[in-house]
Structure 1
Amino acid sequence: MPLIDAPRDQIPTREPPWKDIVLEQHLVRPGEIPEHEHPNLCLHLQIAGDREIEWWQNGRNAIEHTQPGSLIVIPPGTRHRWRWHGSSERLILSVEDDALQQLALQLGAQHPLEIKGAWSILVPSTRLLISEMGREAREGWPLGALYANLLALSLETNLIKNHSSQQIALPRLKGGLGVPKLKRAMEYMSANLAEDIGLEQIADEMGMSPSHFAHEFRNSTGTTPYQYLLHQRLERAKALLKTTKLPIQNVSVLTGFNYPANFVRAFRQRIGQSPDAWRKDHRR
């Protein structure tokens, strides 16, 4: 029987937005995994189960008592073997070392980044970011690649700040909304794709003036609220074109375009094809 099974809640097969991170959800069963090496940083976040894990590394051996929220951090190049004493459900991430090293240099690291290994630690900020990434992945990245990539960057920065063997004074961010407020704004826009919402309505939802919200959103994401909203509308349109037989006029209304001609023009400009032509090429 395999030690790692496919999860009960399968993460969607939609192309993931992350280039440097692989995220999987697994049900880990009791048993031993032979000695092996990790070429990249590996993180295990336990999300269910309350079990023990025994590990062997560099001539050392110990048993760790784990619980939901426990985090395993395995630096790149680590050789070890371990034994699961019970079943547990886990989010498992692999982060490419080159990408992490490059970000560390950008943030002011004076030496090559070294991540501290750990077999069972509780780090709330890291847990929250990994959990949010898992939720977004399970739901098919409803807030789009922009939010998913912001989560990935936040996680990589968190790893450098909280799990590095050297102290790196991260630069203070000037302006921007921060991940929680960005999520709230993006959720509001995504929930109202079929409505003719404007900048004033979004800013009012956030309790900010339109100009302040637009400025801070762009500082945080590098794009304007309008560009994000348009991207989400076109992604919703592609999903409807691919999975339904709705006429173009109906797809236009459901994605917030008052006139089909405006929808067709925007779709052709951004996607490179008319909605009809794209549907013929992508129907299931």
Structure 2
Amino acid sequence: MGADDDEAATELVDFSFPVSTDRLSLDARMSHSGVHVVRGSLAPNEGGEIGATQLSAVVHKGEPFEMEWRLPGSDRLHSRRIEFGDIHINPGDTPFFQRWTGRPLILGMALDHALIDRVGQETFGRGGSSLQTLVGIRDDWLMAAAKAWREELAAEGSGGRLVAEHMGVLLAIRLFRRYSDAAWRPVPPKGGLGARRLRLVIDYIEAHLGDDLSMSALAAVTGLSLHHFGEAFRQSTGIPPHRFVLIRRIERAKIFLLTTDMTITEVSFAIGYASQSHFALKFREMTGVGPHRFRLDRLT
């Protein structure tokens, strides 16, 4: 544990790459629109400057392990036992000295600089550089977010860009509110989107149900920022944009199933799902039956 430990090469993990690195072995990964989520394990680390190219919030999901670290710009060595549910936050491109034992199991949530800076500037007037590096914190909101991401990983990212961007923006807002020196700026205008903007965005959704819709595209239709759009849409409709799109896709699927000879696979592609299995899963969640049974029960 001498001073020469810091001389190890600097390492930046890129969460957007689909292959494992020497540091990170992946069990599952998902990337959409600057939002990246990985589940896997980290190799033992004898000491070195380590960080990520993106802003990252990493949740420890395995057995406890011992860790030592020095925060960026500090000579003070910290040491503690990292437990299940402890969370590490680090702005992108900000490596710091770390050393640990074992092979920690993690779920990592990462945001590209463009997304984190956009949300930060639009909502707080600050970029991602205002966020702190923190090790071993507890945060119930981030734990709930990690659970939601774990479920999305299990579904192989079937929610697509819209769900990923929605959850990514919420993650960015949480990090800025709780872990930066940025002051909160005005909330979205009262009254939601207003009749004209709401009609514009609903018309856009209806015309593009078969596409991989994104929060960025929907927000652009209204001329609002990502965060303000999501909040205003919920205020106007009572549900977030990705939920609204899911409902409309399932309703469109019902029409196709009852009025056309399209196969289940053709229906799934027509409403924006990449596979029949993901479509069938969402259809059953929404209706209580699979698409094939739904068609048979109503046409026989």
State the TM-score bracket (shorter-chain normalisation).
0.5 to 0.7
Q: Which residue of 1 aligns with 2:70?
A: 56
Equivalenced residues, count: 208
Q: Which residue of 1 aligns with 2:46?
A: 32
**For structure 1, which segment, 154-163 or 221-230, has the greater mean C-alpha deviation from structure 2 after superposition?**
221-230
Distance 2:92 2:269 in 1: 44
Q: Which residue of 2 aligns with 1:112?
A: 127
For residues 5-16 of structure 1, the aligned pairs below 5 Å read 6-7=25-26, 10-11=27-28, 16=30
For residues 78-157 of structure 1, the aligned pairs below 5 Å read 78-107=94-123, 109-113=124-128, 114-157=130-173
> Are the aligned partners of 1:3 and 1:31 in contact in 2 as well (CA < 8 Å)?
no
- 1:267 CA drift (Å): 7.2
How does the TM-score come out when normalised to structure 1? 0.59
Q: Which residue of 2 aligns with 1:215?
A: 237
For each residue in 1:168-223, what CA deviation from the matched residue of structure 2 results, as whole angstroms up to 9, or x when unmatched? 246268689xxxxxxxxxxxxxxxxxxxxxxxxxxxxxxxxxxx999323x64495
Structure 2: runs of 5+ lacking an equivalent:
1-20, 193-233, 277-300
Q: Which residue of 2 aligns with 1:206?
A: none
1:47 to 55, 61, 72: 61
Is 1:229 matched up with 2:250? yes
Amino acid at match of 1:228: R
> Are the aligned partners of 1:32 and 1:81 in contact in 2 as well (CA < 8 Å)?
no
Q: Which residue of 2 aligns with 1:258?
A: 258
**For structure 1, which segment, 149-158 or 138-147, has the greater mean C-alpha deviation from structure 2 after superposition?**
138-147
> Are the aligned partners of 2:35 and 2:165 in contact in 1 as well (CA < 8 Å)?
no
User: RMSD of aligned C-alpha atoms?
Assistant: 3.8
How does the TM-score come out when normalised to structure 2? 0.57
Q: 1:226 to 1:263 in 2, by over 3 A?
A: farther
> Are the aligned partners of 1:129 and 1:154 in contact in 2 as well (CA < 8 Å)?
no
Seq. identity, %: 12
Amino acid at match of 1:62: H
Amino acid at match of 2:39: Q
Distance 1:258 1:214 in 2: 31
Is 1:76 matched up with 2:97? no
SS of 1:91 mapped into structure 2: strand
**For structure 1, which segment, 260-269 or 156-165, has the greater mean C-alpha deviation from structure 2 after superposition?**
260-269
SS of 2:181 mapped into structure 1: coil
